[in-house]
Amino acid sequence: MKISSPDIDGKVCNGKHAKHSEDSASTTYGTNTSGGTMTGQCSGLNTTTNGKFSAFAQGVGLIENKNWPTGNYYHSSGVKSNATNSNAKAVADDLTKNLTPEEKTIVAGLLAKTIEGGEVVEMCLSPST
């Protein structure tokens, strides 16, 4: 989505609504959540400036099958898992509540291409006239 639709990229995984109440320091997405400022939870940041779906997907290791469907975060006692399916629910919530009908159509097209080809690909979509 980073290339094909930057507007959509900025509307998914950019909020705080899925942040665990015990996580007060996360400002970036990452797999090494043991340090305290990284989280593996979509829409789990304490700031919205770093939140984008592309940053989430790359940062939390989705390609390596990490942090999906459940994310994790750091608490003073160590790394903790969030609620079951927390990342899947946060992404779905952002897609259904933050996107316009046209943007949802674009995402559906990207997902269909991903499922068909069996791999994630970036593509540019141009509306037909």
Domain range spanning residue 71?
6-98
Assess whether pLDDT exceeds 60 at residue 23: yes
Q: Is the bond preceding 101 in cis, omega lying within 30 degrees of 0?
A: no
Question: Do 54 and 42 contact (CB within 8 A), yes or no?
Answer: no
Residue 73 in any domain: the answer is yes
Residue 17 in any domain: the answer is yes
Residue 118 in any domain: the answer is no
Residues 95-99: contacts with CB under 8 Å, at least 24 apart:
95/12, 98/11, 98/12, 99/8, 99/11, 99/12
Question: Do 43 and 13 contact (CB within 8 A), yes or no?
Answer: yes
Say what angle helices 101-117 and 86-98 make with each other, to 10 degrees.
140
Instruction: Please give the average per-residue pLDDT across 25-38, as a whole number.
Output: 79
With cut-offs at 50, 70 and 90, classify the pLDDT of residue 127.
low
Residue 16 in any domain: the answer is yes
Task: Give me the sign of the Cα torsion angle 79, 28, 104, 117.
Answer: negative
Residue 51 in any domain: the answer is yes
> Who has greater pLDDT, 1 or 97?
97
Return the residue matching tokens 């141009």: 126
pLDDT of residue 102: 94
Residue 106 in any domain: the answer is no
Digit-coded pLDDT (tens) for 62-113: 888 889 999 988 888 788 899 999 999 999 999 999 999 999 998 888 877 7
Digit-coded pLDDT (tens) for 111-126: 777 666 555 544 444 4
